[in-house]
Every structure is written in structure tokens, then in C-alpha cells.
Amino acid sequence: MTPKNRRPKRKKPKRRKPDRHELYQLSVQEPEADIEFLQNTFHERYGRPPRLLREDFGGTAYLASSWVADNENNSAWAIDLDNEPLEWGARHNAARLTEAQRARLALVQGNVLDRQDPPVDIIAAFNFSYFTFQKRRQMLQYFRRAHANLRDEGLFVLDLYGGPEAQQLIEETTEHEDFSYVWDQDEFDPIQGRMVCYIHFDLPKGKRIEKAFTYDWRLWTLPELREILEDAGFAGSEAYWEGIDEDGDGDGVYTRQETAENTDSWIAYIVGYK
Ligand SMILES: C[S@@+](CC[C@H](N)C(=O)[O-])C[C@H]1O[C@@H](n2cnc3c(N)ncnc32)[C@H](O)[C@@H]1O
């Protein structure tokens, strides 16, 4: 046996297993852009920066963690029913914060339908998570709770999506460096307005995380949601619509608009104010 052969075998560096939460964050979240939108919209209405944020349906609290890192005067709560994404967020997102930043972040397991927390400047419900409420009375209950949990100068910010493509059974793939994100609209029932969607991740070597996330939603429309906000006590609401670039694609810049041209699919924000 040659000395070379006798050498202890070098352990192969372990490839970290791709993690569905990490892939989700890389695919569909952009907290810096969200924070810029929240800050600008709040400042425009109240002439001061917002400081307290509640991230409803917080999942891994990526937005809330980024919020406390953005400014030393910022604090945030992230609320989620499920402790599993919250724990992941504590181990990954909150763990990257300084001790002082972590002290201004609270990860809370709870139901947004009945939370009573210290009133905040902004409640954000992003990535359409509130579509989980499929009955009008449930949505009204949620919006009333949000209203009660806001300061007198407060904004409730929701994103939503729509357009004719939102009702079609389609799979849309977005390539990333080491994986692909697949948005799968699998069912749509026009009587109930109910849709079932999945996120899958395609990985190298033909591997796939099938149904990494499942959504059972009602596809709400923008005017319906604005009416429910009004019924919940909001003094008013605004629709923020995305501009388009020279190729006809969304440019990521959202402005307040009263009417808009329909496109195959769109994402917009609704901002309710007290
Ligand atoms: C799509 S994730 C949202 C993650 C992240 N906040 C985002 O913007 O992408 C939806 C989360 O909502 C949570 N959820 C569903 N119903 C809820 C409820 N009634 N109260 C609180 N969280 C809820 C789920 O546990 C899930 O983690």
C-alpha cells in the first residue's frame, strides 16, 4: 500500500440540502423593495417615517427581520399560525441580525383573525396570503382586526394579483442560478372563485421538490377587497398599479391610480388607511 493510499480519506464536503424556505425567499420575496414601498407610501400620507410594522402571515419573518435591520428605530412583529416557518426564520433570518436588532423583533405564533397586539404604523399582508380567507365574513373579520391593531395614523397594505391568466390552469417556470421556481395554477372553480396552486422547485440532476407549498385560495378582486375594507371601518383605500417598461413588462414601480388597463396578469397593492 502506498503512503498515499494509507492517508485517511478526505471527507467530501457535504452538499447542503436545498431548503424549501430558502428557495421560497429567493423566488418570491424582495423585502428591500417592499420596505421602500411601505416607507414611501406611509411618508406620503403622514409626513413621517413609519417605525412599527406587523407582518401578518409572516412565515419566516423575512420582511420583519429586514425591517428591524433597516433602521435602529424600527420594530416589527411577525405573526404566523405555524411555528415551523417561524422557527426557520429565527434560525436563519433573525440569527443574521445583531443582538440590538433582534431585540426589536418579535416572532409570534398566532391567528391573524384574533390577534390583539400593540397598535402599529403598518400591517402588511403580502404574497396574497389573506386569499386563504374564502368567505366574505372571514375577510371582514380579518380586516376589522387589522383596523383595530393600527395606530390612528396607520396603513394596512395588501398585495394581490389578477388578470385573465389568474384563472387559467397554467404552470410558469422562472429560472434561477441553481434551481427553477414553478408556479402551478392547478384548479380554478368559477362558482366558488376558489383556486388551488402549488409551488414546485426543480433542482439540478432532475430532482424536484414537488408541492413545496400548497395554496387553497379564493381569487378576490380589487373592488371587492376595497369594499370590505370600507365595511371594516377604514376611512378609505388606494390602489397602487405597476408601471410598464419599454418591453411591456412590469417595471416594479407602483403608483396610485383610479383606473388601469387590464393585462394578462398583474400584481397590485391596496392600501387601506384609518
Ligand atoms: C405564503 S406564506 C407567507 C410568507 C411571507 N410572509 C410572504 O410574504 O411571502 C403564508 C403563511 O400564512 C400562514 N397563515 C395561514 N393562515 C393564517 C392565519 N389565520 N393566521 C396567521 N398565519 C396564517 C401560514 O402558516 C403560512 O406560513
What is the Å distance from ligand 1's center to 215 Cα?
10
The angle at the Cα of 265, spanning 37 to 124, to the nearest 5 degrees, equals 30
Q: Which of 66, 123, 129 to mutate to test the pocket of ligand 1 (most atoms within 8 A of CB)?
A: 129
Taking CB atoms and a 6 Å cutoff, what residues make up the pocket around ligand 1?
28-29, 55, 57-59, 79-82, 85, 111-113, 126-127, 129, 132
1 lies in some domain? no
What is the Å distance from ligand 1's center to 5 Cα?
54
Same structural domain for residues 63 and 188? Answer: no
Nearest to 179 by CA among 198, 215, 206: 206
pLDDT of 270: 98
What is the Å distance from ligand 1's center to 76 Cα?
16
Same structural domain for residues 258 and 136? Answer: yes
Q: Which atom of ligand 1 is nearest to the CA of 213?
A: 1
Number of domains comprising the chain:
2
Q: Which three cell numbers stand for residue 124?
A: 402588511
Q: In order along the chain (274 residues), what is the average pLDDT of each group of 10 residues?
A: 48 68 97 97 98 98 98 98 98 97 97 90 98 98 97 98 96 96 98 98 95 98 98 98 88 94 94 97
Q: Which atom of ligand 1 is nearest to the CA of 25?
A: 9
User: Measured between alpha carbons, how far is 86 from 104 in angstroms, rounded to an integer?
Assistant: 16
Alpha-helical (H) ranges within 95-177 are 99-102, 136-148
Nearest to 257 by CA among 236, 241, 235: 241
Same structural domain for residues 195 and 255? Answer: no
Same structural domain for residues 125 and 249? Answer: yes
CATH number at residue 246: 3.40.50.150
3 lies in some domain? no
Same structural domain for residues 59 and 101? Answer: yes
pLDDT of 139: 98
Same structural domain for residues 107 and 200? Answer: no
Q: Which three cell numbers stand for residue 233?
A: 371601518
Nearest to 260 by CA among 238, 244, 241: 241
Which pTM was predicted? Answer: 0.93
Task: Answer for the pair 33, 132: CB distance below 8 angstroms, yes or no.
Answer: no
Same structural domain for residues 65 and 117? Answer: yes
Task: Answer for the pair 154, 232: CB distance below 8 angstroms, yes or no.
Answer: no
User: Measured between alpha carbons, how far is 220 from 254 in angstroms, rounded to an integer?
Assistant: 20
pLDDT of 164: 96
Residue 265 carries which DSSP code? S
Q: Which domain holds residue 240?
A: 20-164+220-273
Nearest to 212 by CA among 82, 23, 60: 23
Largest CA distance in the chain: 83
Same structural domain for residues 135 and 45? Answer: yes
pLDDT of 96: 97
